[in-house]
Amino acid sequence: MSTARHLDLPMPSEEERQYVGAGNFKEIGDDFLQLFTRLGHLKPSDDVLDVGCGIGRMALAMVNYLEPTSRFEGFDIVKHGIDWCERNITTRWPNFNFKHSDIYNKCYNESGRQVSRKYRFPYEDNSFDFAFLTSVFTHMLPRDMENYLGEIHRVLRPGGKAFITFFITNPEVQGLIGQGKSAFKLQHHRGPARIEYPHCPEQVVGYEEKYVHQLFKESGFGNEITVFPGQWCGRSKGETSHDLVLAVKSSEPSSKQLWRRKLASWMPF
């Protein structure tokens, strides 16, 4: 890792970080950075995009890892988190920048004026070496996720990497759910998605393994993705609680019309 430039990291209060979920705020960020470097080969010189950056957990984990000449960009739908990051991180590390995206989400931003399935990331094509999403696609329904993945592909440079957390279902997972070992049952279907709470689908969303592989392939990430199975479903071992998907931008996507037509067959809504 690069030499630390600051030792006194700012930290949001417990009240300020309520919406980011349970667990040790700093420890989780440090653990993900370790995964990004060990499994995803994130380099200190990389330009990085944090999709759903929240209140800066991953930014704070990276301020002493990324070089001052690298670029970190994050956006999120919760404005107070972005405001905190701008006040406490950008003022100290000007290569770390944050944007608020006023996107509707039933669970997290009911007043949002934009929709995920039509949102264009506020960055130019081929801008980043590494993009990551922690606990974003676990809260998004298929058409929204389709658009986001296309946008991730667009803003990554050729050879750029995407590292994304999921809840992925397959026969093994269904067996563990049936045995009562999983944290979630995911019994309700929405196309290729499996949801936990029908009254608020975005609260917990899982995806069928076949669909995940198809989605990445059709969006230009090549024929192979690397999946690191997680512990959420009751496995005794895993890199983390979530499933992790690592993909590399290898080509331009196939015809978007063909891609969307194929995906539409999965999604009756």
**Is a pLDDT exceeding 60 seen at residue 77?**
yes
Question: 106 versus 198: which is more confidently predicted?
Answer: 198
Amino acid at residue number 110: E
Residue 94 CA neighbour count, 13 Å, CB half: 0
Q: What pLDDT, on a 0 to 100 scale, did the predictor assign at position 52?
A: 95
Domains and CATH numbers, the chain: 31-264 (3.40.50.150)
Least confident window among 99-113, 141-155, 192-206: 99-113
**Is a pLDDT exceeding 50 seen at residue 6?**
no
**Is a pLDDT exceeding 80 seen at residue 266?**
no
φ, ψ (nearest 5 deg) of residue 67: -70, 150
pTM for the whole structure = 0.89
Q: What pLDDT, on a 0 to 100 scale, did the predictor assign at position 255?
A: 52
Least confident window among 167-176, 214-223, 227-236, 249-258: 249-258
The mean pLDDT of 6-25, rounded to a whole number, is 75
The mean pLDDT of 121-135, rounded to a whole number, is 97
The mean pLDDT of 25-51, rounded to a whole number, is 96
**Is a pLDDT exceeding 60 seen at residue 7?**
no
3-state DSSP of 123-148: CCCCCEEEEEECCCHHHCCHHHHHHH
Q: What pLDDT, on a 0 to 100 scale, did the predictor assign at position 106?
A: 74
110: confidence class by pLDDT, cuts 50, 70, 90: confident
Least confident window among 48-52, 120-124, 199-203, 264-268: 264-268
The mean pLDDT of 117-121, rounded to a whole number, is 95
Beta-bridged to residue 163, according to DSSP, are 132, 246
Nearest by Cα to 72 from 50, 92, 40 = 50
Asked whether the beta carbons of 205 and 245 are under 8 A apart, the reply is no
Q: Compute the distance between CA of residue 267 and CA of residue 191 in angstroms, rounded to an integer.
A: 5
Q: What is the mean pLDDT of the chain?
A: 89
Question: 6 versus 103: which is more confidently predicted?
Answer: 103
